[in-house]
Chains A and B, each alone.
Chain A
Amino acid sequence: MSAQRRLFSPRFDWLSLTLVLGGLLLLYYLAPLASLFLAAPPGTVAASLTEPTVVNAMTTSVLSATLSTLVGTVFGLPLAYWLAHADTRWTNVVLAVVVLPLVLPPTVGGVVLLTVVGPNTFLGASAAAVGVPLTRSLAGVVLAQTFVASPFVVVTAKAAFEGVDRTLEHASRVLGMDRLTTVRRITLPLAGPGLLAGVTLAFARAMGEFGATMMLAYYPRTMPVQIWVSFVSLGLDAAYPIAIVLVVVSALALIVLHTVASNPWQ
């Protein structure tokens, strides 16, 4: 009876409403991006890409983001492995600390970093004395980016390590391989795509870092800082070229996340 009614009077499906509402949001994401590319004629963008300020900003950003991603990976992967394998209640506390920089407003992150590495702090003064100033320097940029971006490595890699069936690691151990060999031959290959996703997310976040970087190192200017400077001094048009470069970087990160960084074994 009810099946018959459904057959003859098509009823409203709420699923279509979710698409309509969600579609509006989707437009809100896409329209400004399209508008940006339309507002900046390709010729102008290409020409301005060779300007010294733009080239310098790109160099600084790529170099600093690479370094901060490297630091985040070297220290973040071991922490992620520990979080995934340690059998203690402390993991929750440690994880909360790791997530803190993610929820903290980046400018506040910059403030707290300055209380440790600022020019008037012990650390900042000592480092400056030996010729490595921790603010207004590439080191400052890397410090700011590492603080904000490295949690992406830890959180994503932890999930990737946890995604590796513990039985496989046990099997390797019982077969006679120690923990390090097991990590190298079983855990890392199986978690690899997830780890790459974490590294990619961290790099993308580092490339886009603005708040903490502004507090620690206005110079040398990274791309986001240069966008802000160009916008304030010369207007919106001047900010377009670098903005487009950053959009392309984000798109590349997305491509990596959906290709090599997706797990073929799951």
Chain B
Amino acid sequence: MTSLRLDCVAKAFDGFELGPLDLAVADEVLAVLGPSGCGKTTLLSLVAGLVRPDAGTISLDGRTLDGRPPENRGVGLVFQDGALFPHLTARENVAYAATDRDRVTDFTARLEIDDLLDRRPPALSGGERQRVALARTLAADPDALLLDEPLSSLDAPIRRRLRDELHDLFATLDVPVVYVTHDQRAATALGDRVAVLRDGAVEQIDEPDAVLDCPETEFVARFTGCENVFEGTVTEGGVRVDGVTFPAESTQPPGTAATVCIRPSRVRLNAPDTVLAGTVQRRLNEGDDYRLRVALDDGPDLIARVRPSGTLAPGDAVGVSIAAEDVHLL
């Protein structure tokens, strides 16, 4: 069983500090999620040997990578825009470092790029370039696969399709995969575990559902799409924010201060078990759902994500209900 380990790895430059980081990635997909500038790309550069760490040890399959040049690490890195060699055809790119011919034909078939092989990179679309880049990296038979925001510059339909394919592809690989992204959906969709990185430090590392449902910090909550974050006080069977009380399960004694996190998709409007009242302030049609801003009577403004319905418009009074298990306290 292969595994990639980082022990106390630290790197400082230009006033930015990454780490010290401890990470262990088994034969799984670790999605590293964080805003731009949080150190995600630096993390990959350290593992790939493009940047030298100030401290710490990186090992792969029990052998240390410290001091080894990039070509001698057995690590594959897929760059953000593919980094295809522009003077070579797609075929020559894939074959550039291939260990054998079969791997080339195997991955060009699996990534469905057989028809593109005679083209040069400028004649490829963004999605096609990433497919070629992936095939090129995998044909070199790496012991660990690193991906640096491979989908970020693609149009939404292509991005979704390639994300699905990456999911299936990762399942067939028996090497550690580190997938770096600022896109929460890609991170939770592809990661067996998600590490949320902030200012060079891991804020939380957990399975996708746990990161989404039980964020440990306000930053993790907000960055993973929990838009309703309030300061409140624990009461008997609930939590009080301004003049309203949300149902909540808390182990803390009443009177304790708590941060309340409620995902917009968990807010229900005009349901039979309505407990709170408010007024719709704004409605955005986001396609699959409406994003509504609801001002609670005597309470904070709440963001709700509900299925499109023509009956709710700004100015309408609505009943609001939230289940206790959907109210997460920090």
B70 touches A174 (CB 8 A): yes
- Whether the Cβ atoms of B71 and A176 lie closer than 8 Å is yes
Question: Looking at chain A's contact residues, is the secondary structure mostly helix, strand, loop, or mixed?
Answer: helix
Residue from A168, A176, A178 in contact with B140 in the complex, judged by beta carbons closer than 8 Å: A176
Max chain A CB contacts within 10 Å: which of B73, B75, B97, B122? B97
Task: Report yes or no: A174 in contact with B87, Cβ–Cβ below 8 A.
Answer: no
Most buried by A among B50, B72, B73: B50
Residue of A170, A172, A173, A190 near B87 (CB, 8 A) is: A190
A167-B79, A178-B71, A190-B87 given; A173·B50 CB < 8 A: yes
The answer to whether A174 and B96 have CB atoms under 8 Å apart is: no
Asked if A172 and B50 sit within 8 Å, CB to CB, the answer is: no
* Complex contact B85–A174 (CB within 8 A): no
Chain A contributes a number of interface residues (CB within 8 A of B) equal to 18
Please report the C-alpha to C-alpha distance between residue A179 and residue B70 in the assembled complex, in whole angstroms: 10
Bound complex: CA of A213 vs CA of B71, how far in Å? 47
Q: Assess whether A78 is interfacial by the CB under 8 Å rule.
A: no
Option from B75, B79, B87, B122 in Cβ contact (under 8 Å) with A171: B79
B76 contacts A by Cβ under 8 Å: yes
Name the contact of A173 in the complex, choosing from B71, B79, B85, B136 (C-beta under 8 A). B71
User: B8 interface residue, CB < 8 Å from A?
Assistant: no
Asked if A170 meets B70 with Cβ closer than 8 Å, knowing A175-B136, A176-B97, A176-B140, the reply is: yes
Chain B minimum-CB-distance residue to A170: B50
In this assembly, does A189 line the interface, its C-beta being within 8 Å of a C-beta of chain B? Answer: yes
Q: Which residue of A lies closest to B45 (CB)?
A: A170
What residues on B are CB-neighbors of A190 within 8 Å?
85-87
Is residue B123 within 8 Å, beta carbon to beta carbon, of the partner chain?
no
Q: How far is B86's CA from A190's CA once the two chains are assembled, in angstroms? A: 8
- The chain A residue with its CB closest to the CB of B141 is A176
Chain A residues with CB under 8 Å of B151's CB are: none
Q: How far is the CB of A124 from chain B (nearest CB, A)?
A: 44
User: How far does the Cβ of A94 sit from chain B's closest Cβ, in whole Å?
Assistant: 23
User: B233 interface residue, CB < 8 Å from A?
Assistant: no
| CB of B137 within 8 Å of the partner chain | yes
Interface centre among A167, A173, A185 (most CB of B within 10 A): A173
Is B69 at the interface (CB under 8 A from chain A)?
yes
Instruction: Confirm or deny: B77 has a beta carbon within 8 angstroms of a beta carbon on chain A.
Output: yes
B262 within 8 A of partner (CB) = no
Q: Give complex CA distance A174, B86 in Å.
A: 17
Most buried by B among A171, A172, A178, A186: A171
Complex interface: chain B residues within 8 A of A168 (CB):
83, 85-86
Q: How far is the CB of B80 from chain A (nearest CB, A)?
A: 9
- 14 example contacts (A-B, Cβ-Cβ < 8 A) are as follows A165-B83, A168-B86, A170-B48, A170-B77, A171-B79, A172-B97, A173-B69, A174-B48, A175-B97, A176-B140, A178-B69, A179-B69, A185-B96, A265-B87
